[in-house]
């Protein structure tokens, strides 16, 4: 039985695009034998992420991993923006 979880993240279009490109690279380099299915879709200012797994414990682990990837990507966008503000770039 497949168990699914879906998440949506909204921000300005440039931030969402940057996050999408950052984590999409992780999805593209994934192992073909991996049981988990991760689907990413970008729609305007919204990033849609859908996860699917056959075991609740593995789904939780997969969700934790991908949510952490989104969080780190978002934090990096903020750090880079802050550096630009303080250095005038």
Query: Residue 59 pLDDT > 90, yes or no?
Result: yes
Question: Average pLDDT for residues 18-36, to the nearest whole number?
Answer: 79
Query: Residue 54 pLDDT > 90, yes or no?
Result: yes
Was domain 3-87 assigned CATH 3.30.310.50? yes
In degrees and rounded to multiples of 5, residue 31 shows phi and psi of -75, 130
Mean pLDDT over each residue of the chain, to the nearest integer: 90
Domain boundaries, the chain: 3-87
Query: Residue 89 pLDDT > 70, yes or no?
Result: no
């Amino acid at each position: 039985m497949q168990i699914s979880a879906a998440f949506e993240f909204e921000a300005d279009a440039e931030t969402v695009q940057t996050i999408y490109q950052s984590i999409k690279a992780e999805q593209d380099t994934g192992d073909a034998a991996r049981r988990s299915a991760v689907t990413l879709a970008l729609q305007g200012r919204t990033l849609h992420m859908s996860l699917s797994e056959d075991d609740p414990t593995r789904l939780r682990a997969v969700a934790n991993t991908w949510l952490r990837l989104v969080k780190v990507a978002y934090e990096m966008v903020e750090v880079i923006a802050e550096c630009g503000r303080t250095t005038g770039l």
